[in-house]
Amino acid sequence: MSWLSSSQGVVLTAYHPSGKDQAVGDSHAKGGEEATSSRRYGQYTMNQESTTTRVMEKPPFDRSISQDSLDELSMEDYWIELENIKKSSENRQEDQEVVVVKEPDEGELEEEWLKEAGLSNLFGESAGDPQESMVFLSTLTRTQAAAVQKRVETVSQTLRKKNKQYQIPDVRDIFAQQRESKETAPDDTESQSLRTNENKYQGRDDQTSNLVGEEKLIPPEETPAPETDINLEVSFAEQALNQKESSKEKIQKSKGDDATLPSFRLPKDKTGTTRIGDLAPQDMKKVCHLALIELTALYDVLGIELKQQKAVKIKTRDSGLFCIPLTVLLEQDQRKVLGTRIPLIFQKLISRIEEGGLETEGLLRIPGAAIRIKNLCQELEAKFYEGTFNWESVKQHDAASLLKLFIRELPQPLLSVEYLKAFQAVQTLPTKKQQLQALNLLVILLPDANRDTLKALLEFLQRVIDNKEKNKMTVMNVAMVMAPNLFMCHALGLKSSEQREFVMAAGTANTMHLLIKYQKLLWTIPKFIVNQVRKQNTENHKKDKRAMKKLLKKMAYDREKYEKQDKSTNDADVPQGVIRVQAPHLSKVSMAIQLTEELKASDVLARFLSQESGVAQTLKKGEVFLYEIGGNIGERCLDDDTYMKDLYQLNPNAEWVIKSKPL
């Protein structure tokens, strides 16, 4: 393995998959199925005097720091994939851009974190009245508040050291009002509700996954796992804190226990499940701020350092297909196909693989010929947008290799420079539940282009796995092959011993496994975060209302008249227990609907669609949706199983509109 060092950071230039210059030989062509069993994973040591590592040839790798469920053949898939990547990078070295990761200065990381969390007005030249952030801070949980306080303290100390002439906030001042408001609250119903919700899930989803380097990582696929709901109603960090002491005993008891780990599923929520893409942009921005704070709080509680990386701006190509930033690629694609959210070349490569049939044995594992792949890349660059490229000449395994190459050669990783390390650190979280919770928050934090492309990839991988009986590609096989393509970015990395590399291989394969298996859960916005957004909106409305009343008073306006009008225009002509649903684009533009215990969003849609005629009658379920608009939410697309009476009680001032989703 070779490295380039600089004062700004570290750049990985090549991989050494197994620590040996051992040829893989014919196992490439056979997808690793007949790879030599003589390859051993020895005890690895690090030479403190040098940046290179060496392997001791004596005993086999200690299985106590590996995992029995990942047999040598499974790991062989991983190392073979790394060998393929190495050969591919040698053939295309001249085309690769290098991303240098900047090591942040003292306090710079925390300052950037506060900006990302929407709290930049607490410090710096833009520092203003901390009251602007009070609404936001008042909605935070104790662990979230602790995470913010810790970063504010660090930034404050750094700014004082640098003698900057900004307004430097006092942490006590920032959080004093939040504590006072909680102390003067009329009751403790919210915290009591949180405890009740947490107790509902207690003992059902706190079984520990096995730690990387200790026990089994991925359970055998043929073993059925018990299903349990994952708690999305209570802050993940709060759950971790509350279970920290009690789980110690459980972890000790579980060591050596071969009981199958639970398989998590989405819980039923009467007010509806909120998925990424269901909220208006202004609310989604708040979700991202809260997700970053929650992720940091979770890592803080578990004693794991969460450091965001920052890529130095580099010159990249502004046109083409490979080695192009996702955002640039999408800009040029949207000139061809309006509204496209997934790169066209990415879509076409998946389509080409599927045209060859997903039952092909060794799909994704068997590589195409390196020279042929290089030539295809050059031809695609020249002819793809002209529409003259001959796709019939592309073999299925070549298309799969091109797909993986596209992912690897993104100038910045698909999992983003900022959060790649956080994705890698997921493997160090103590329990499977916490790993899923962290992944859920990380997926929310990804830029839209990265998240949409990742979703398309994971959905495709699941379709490959659905044909595992014939293609011999189980979820574990696919995870092993795809992990190095997503996690071992050609331009990012850390110097490490080969023992660490082995653990990293197993850990990232496990994370890849979770991404594939739980993709529906991971693209869900946790209910506790949606509730925090609702609370923020409610408090902002109150603040705006107070400001409006103050303004009206100054204008000598009839305040009493205003308040009567404002009382509830939404309920003016609607009887109690009835909602009025608007459908401006349908023939029946409005309908009053009686709320019942069993009425769902799908029932409301069905009533409207059943009355359509003519062209509108061709509208199908899935083309239009019922939206909750206003009140304590900006805009939210409702899932079919939302119970309308329960949601109405949560947001009585909302309007209800049927419309299609925006592109």
Could you give the CA distance from residue 209 to residue 215 in angstroms, rounded to a whole number? 9
Q: Are residues 417 and 329 both part of a single domain?
A: yes
Q: Are residues 507 and 617 in the same domain?
A: no
**What pLDDT shows up at residue 562?**
57
Strand pairing partners for 591? Answer: 581
466 domain-assigned: yes
* Residue 137, token pair as written in the block: 């801070």
Q: What is the pLDDT of residue 614?
A: 52
What are the pLDDT digits (tens) for 561-598? 555 555 544 445 567 889 999 998 887 889 999 999 99
510 and 609, same domain (yes or no): no
Strand, coil or helix: 190:
helix
pLDDT of residue 269: 92
pLDDT of 547 > 80? The answer is no
Q: What is the domain extent for residue 345? A: 70-90+309-523
> Dihedral through CA 463, CA 429, CA 405, CA 87, nearest 10?
-120
Over 50: is that where the pLDDT of 200 sits? yes
Are 149 and 114 within 8 A, CB to CB? no
Residue 553 in any domain: the answer is no
222 against 162, higher pLDDT: 162
Residue 66 near residue 351, CB atoms below 8 Å: no
| Domain termination residue (choose one: 461, 491, 523) | 523
Residues written for the chain: 663
Q: How confident is the model at residue 212 (pLDDT cuts 50, 70, 90)?
A: very low
Angstrom distance (rounded) from CA 68 to CA 432: 17
| Domain termination residue (choose one: 523, 539, 555) | 523
Alpha-carbon dihedral sign for residues 461, 466, 472, 474: positive
50: helix, coil or strand? coil
**How many other C-beta atoms lie within 10 A of the C-beta of residue 378?**
12
pLDDT of residue 454: 97
Residues 507 and 651 in one domain: no
Residue 361 and residue 350: Cα distance in Å, rounded?
Answer: 17
Higher-pLDDT residue of 275, 50: 275
Residue 396 belongs to some domain of the structure:
yes
As given in the structure block, the two tokens for residue 132 are 């602007």
Q: Which two tokens stand for residue 455?
A: 């979703």
Among candidate residues 168, 152, 171, the one with its CA nearest the CA of residue 160: 168
Residues 479 and 619 grouped into a single domain: no
The mean pLDDT of 497-521, rounded to a whole number, is: 82
Buried b (16+ CB within 10 A) or exposed e, 263-287: ebeebebebbbbebbbbeeebbebb
Same domain, 464 and 340: yes
Residue 175, pLDDT > 70, answer no
* CA 386 to the chain's CA centroid: 35
pLDDT for position 185: 44
| Terminal CA-CA length for the chain | 45
**pLDDT on residue 229:** 83
* Residue 468, burial from CB neighbour count under 10 angstroms (0-12, 13-18, 19+): middle
Our separate counts of H helices and E strands in the chain read: 23, 13
The predicted pLDDT at position 281 comes to: 95
- Answer whether 322's CB lies under 8 Å from 406's CB: yes
Q: Are 591 and 581 in contact (CB under 8 A)?
A: yes
How much is the pLDDT for 540?
Answer: 85
Q: CA 501, 504, 510, 512 torsion: positive or negative?
A: negative
pLDDT in tens, 441-498: 999 999 999 999 999 999 999 999 999 999 999 999 999 999 999 987 544 444 445 5
- Alpha carbons 181 and 310: distance in angstroms, whole number: 37
In angstroms, the Cα distances linking 637 to 11, 555, 601, 642 are: 43, 39, 10, 10
| Residues 519 and 608 placed together within one structural domain of the fold | no
Is the pLDDT at 64 greater than 90? The verdict is: no
Output the DSSP codes for 195-220. Answer: HHHHHHHTTTS-PPPPPTTTS-SS--
**pLDDT over 60 at 379, yes or no:** yes
What is the CATH number for 632?
Answer: 3.10.20.90
In one-letter notation, the amino acid at residue 494 is L
Least confident of 131-140, 342-351, 584-593: 131-140
Q: In terms of domains, do 517 and 622 share one?
A: no
What stretches of 518-614 show up as alpha helix (H) in DSSP? 519-522, 527-554, 559-566, 601-609
Q: What's residue 488's pLDDT?
A: 73
Q: What token pair was written down for 45?
A: 């040591």
Q: How confident is residue 661, by pLDDT bands cut at 50, 70 and 90?
A: confident
Measuring CA to CA, how many Å separate 341 from each of 207, 330, 593? 38, 7, 36
Q: Mean pLDDT across the stretch 383-387?
A: 92
For the chain, give the mean pLDDT.
75
Over residues 632-660, the mean pLDDT reads 95
Q: What is the mean pLDDT of residues 41-62?
A: 33
In degrees rounded to 5, what are phi and psi of residue 166? Answer: -80, 170
Count of domains in the chain?
2
State the pLDDT at residue 245: 65
Whether 556 maps to a domain, the answer reads no
Helix (H, G, I), strand (E, B) or coil at 448: helix
- Angstrom distances, CA of residue 102 to CA of 164, 416, 425, 490, 535: 23, 14, 19, 16, 37
Per DSSP, the three-state class of 580 is strand
Instruction: Enter the tokens of residue 34.
Output: 């007949």
Residue 309's pLDDT is 73
Alpha-helix residue ranges (DSSP H) falling in 384-495: 396-408, 420-425, 432-445, 448-465, 468-471, 475-487
Q: What is the pLDDT of residue 62?
A: 39
pLDDT recorded at residue 311:
63
The C-alpha atoms of residue 15 and residue 651 are separated, in whole angstroms, by 54
- Band (84; pLDDT cuts 50, 70, 90): confident
Which of the four pLDDT bands, split at 50, 70 and 90, describes residue 343? very high
Which range (33-42, 142-151, 606-615, 635-644) has the least confidence? 33-42
Tokens of 594: 């009686």
Same domain, 506 and 595: no
Q: Give the residue with greater pLDDT, 632 vs 202.
A: 632
Please report the pLDDT score of residue 557 as a whole number: 55
Largest separation between any pair of C-alpha atoms in the chain: 90
User: Does residue 214 fall inside a structural domain?
Assistant: no
* Residue 625 pLDDT exceeds 80: yes
Mean pLDDT across 104-112: 75
Residue 451 C-alpha from the chain's centroid: 7
**Are residues 501 and 587 both part of a single domain?**
no
Residue ending a domain, choose from 459, 488, 523: 523
Torsion sign across C-alpha atoms 492, 333, 87, 316: negative
Of all residues in the chain, the percent with pLDDT exceeding 70 is 63
- Percentage of residues of the chain with pLDDT beyond 90: 43
Confidence of residue 435 (pLDDT cuts 50, 70, 90): very high
Residue 116 lies in a domain: no
- Residue located via tokens 């999992």: 415
Contact indicator for 417, 310 with CB cutoff of 8 Å: yes
User: Is residue 510 located within the same domain as residue 587?
Assistant: no
More confident residue, 178 or 216: 178
Show the tokens assigned to 389. Answer: 């490229």
The Cα-based distances of 248 to 212, 215, 437 in angstroms read 17, 16, 19
601-612 pLDDT per residue, tens? 999 999 888 876
Q: CATH number, domain at 415?
A: 1.10.555.10
**Quick one: DSSP state of residue 265?**
E
Over 80: is that where the pLDDT of 507 sits?
yes
Q: Is 336 strand, coil or helix?
A: coil
**400 pLDDT above the threshold of 90:** yes
* 615 CA to centre of own chain: 39
Q: Is the pLDDT of residue 213 over 70?
A: no
pLDDT tier for residue 555 given thresholds of 50, 70 and 90? low
Residue 15 pLDDT > 50, yes or no?
A: no
- Please indicate, yes or no, whether residues 512 and 603 belong to a single structural domain of this protein: no
| In a domain? residue 296 | no
Q: What is the pLDDT of residues 282-296, one digit of tens each?
A: 999 999 999 999 999
CA distances from 200 to 231, 240, 294, 522 (A): 9, 15, 21, 21
Tokens of 528: 């506790």
Residue 516 inside a domain? The answer is yes
SS3 602: helix
Residue 301: which pLDDT band, with cuts at 50, 70 and 90?
very high
